[in-house]
Amino acid sequence: MAEQRRAVGWREVLTVAAIAVAAVLATQVVATIVPPIGDVVRGTPVVVIAMVAVTGWVLWRIAARRPPEA
């Protein structure tokens, strides 16, 4: 039973990691195509603040999850 929980956990971790990478790449593409947005992204820590906020949200969701009752 514990092995199935690990498999689900790894899938979720890989999904969140893939979404994070895609978000950073999308931000870079938009910043390259639209120069004013690129200036804002390079001039302020927008991406860092967004990543910290999303990480906090994901960790809160994991911590708030109730274990299934047996």
- State pLDDT tens for residues 12-57: 778 888 888 898 888 889 888 998 888 887 888 887 888 789 888 8
Q: What is the pLDDT of residue 33?
A: 92
pLDDT at 68: 66
In the chain, where the domains are located: 2-64
SS3 30: helix
Report the predicted TM-score, pTM, of the whole model to 2 decimal places: 0.56
Which CB contacts under 8 angstroms, 24+ apart, belong to 50-53?
50/23, 51/20, 51/24
